[in-house]
Amino acid sequence: MILVTGGAGYIGSHAVQRLLRDGQSVVVLDNLHRGHASAIELLKHEVAKGKPSPTLALVEGEIGDYDLVLDVLKEYGVREAMHFAALAYVGESVTRPLVYYRNNTASALSLLEACDAAAVERIVFSSTCATYGEPSADQIPIPESCVQRPINPYGWSKLHTERMLLDYSAQRRNAGRPVGLAILRYFNVAGSDRVGVLGEHHHPETHLVPVVLQSLLGTRGNFGGPAGEEGRALTVFGTDYPTPDGTCIRDYVHVEDLVDAHLAVLRALRPGEDRIYNLGIGRGYSVREIIASCERVTGLRVNVKEGPRRPGDPPALYADPTKIHREIGWRASITDLDEIVRSAWEWFRKHPAGYQTGL
């Protein structure tokens, strides 16, 4: 049995889906603050179709509740954990830093203490490229050895958790009770599962691909954005960056590739190992390229407005995924931008109110 914290969220639910398809039984722990019980219900419906089928359980609660987590680990006989649960809005972390340190770092400490008490053997941690801050141009594409200098509380909350996990792993090795640990630093995640069961439902939505698609559909108001005509316009923040078209460049990895990497790493982990990998496709797409792809896929035109740069937006950030390919053999397979966008478009078109649509 595998514990998936935050398994009702965007990435976590896709990871649960993949684990189930591989015949793995899963227990999800999620406080449903920004996750969706509907996503788990859809996955339970998928599971019911299979014979024989793995087990899927949802426990609503906090990862910072030591007694609850320990009870779950013991009741379900958990030996492996994937930790996705976190708050992940950079802007919000600046205005509410203590909330981020409480939720992302302090709660992870309680989770780790429970995992230690229950003798969990392998832990895969969902981290972020935000721990790198603003790397210099000569550090792009970004390797795992890049200096980590976060520029916001979100990045710091994840980096503190990374340090805590590494210290814990070292202590376990020294005590003769080694644990397998993986830290996976994401870049930009996009798309939906291509079967069409799961999608991306954030409230408010801040990710570029869904914001563009929702503006074309006129549904941004359903996801915490502006409604009406205002919601049909898209503001590009900064058009004078030192990039080929003047807009920021980012690495977009499809969510299915991302969860494939998690499973590949989990299978490869051995007791006493610490593995740290960047997850991305190894190249970047600009804001204008994302908009152009959305227009090709949908056949619609985006109402673009130009705005000033936002503080803290580097011109280009994309991963060097060489290490994970060399050591484990994982490489993103869905690298065509239109295919990534199309999977998201199909889900948003059928679910204009996200998981509230038709449920």
User: Of 10, 100, 101, 154, which residue is the catalytic one?
Assistant: 154
Six-digit token string for 291: 């908009």
| 250 CB-side CA count, 13 A | 21
pLDDT digits (tens, 9 = 90+) for 30-47: 999 999 999 999 999 888
Output the pLDDT for position 46.
83
Split at pLDDT 50, 70, 90, the class of 181 is: very high
Domain ranges of the chain: 2-356
Q: Are 286 and 248 contacting, i.e. CB atoms less than 8 angstroms apart? A: yes
pLDDT digits (tens, 9 = 90+) for 202-226: 999 999 999 999 999 999 999 999 9
Q: Are 125 and 86 contacting, i.e. CB atoms less than 8 angstroms apart? A: no
Q: How far is CA 218 from the centre of its chain?
A: 25
Q: Of the given ranges (14-23, 40-49, 283-292), which has the lowest mean pLDDT?
A: 40-49
What three-state secondary structure class fits 28?
Answer: strand
Beta-carbon contacts of 31 under 8 Å, excluding residues fewer than 6 positions away, are: 60, 61, 62, 63, 85
Checking if the pLDDT of 51 tops 90, the result is: no
CATH of the domain spanning 2-356: 3.40.50.720
Segment 107-136 mean pLDDT: 97
Output the pLDDT for position 352.
96
Split at pLDDT 50, 70, 90, the class of 162 is: very high
pTM (2 d.p.):
0.96
Q: Percent of the chain scored above 70 by pLDDT?
A: 99
* Average model confidence (pLDDT) across the chain: 96
| CA triple 41-37-251, angle to 5 deg | 100
Checking if the pLDDT of 49 tops 90, the result is: no
Q: Are 169 and 181 contacting, i.e. CB atoms less than 8 angstroms apart? A: yes
The DSSP H or E segment spanning 102 is none
Six-digit token string for 73: 């680990």
Listed residue (278, 276, 273, 198) closest to 21, CA to CA? 198
Q: Quick check: is 154 catalytic?
A: yes
Q: Are 25 and 54 contacting, i.e. CB atoms less than 8 angstroms apart? A: yes
Output the pLDDT for position 55.
93
User: Alpha-carbon distance 14 to 19, whole Å?
Assistant: 9
Instruction: Name which residue leads in pLDDT, 233 or 52.
Output: 233
Split at pLDDT 50, 70, 90, the class of 359 is: low
| CA triple 342-345-346, angle to 5 deg | 90
Split at pLDDT 50, 70, 90, the class of 348 is: very high
The strand ranges marked E within the chain are: 2-5, 26-30, 56-60, 80-83, 122-128, 180-186, 188-190, 233-237, 249-250, 252-254, 274-279, 285-286, 303-307, 316-317
Output the pLDDT for position 52.
65
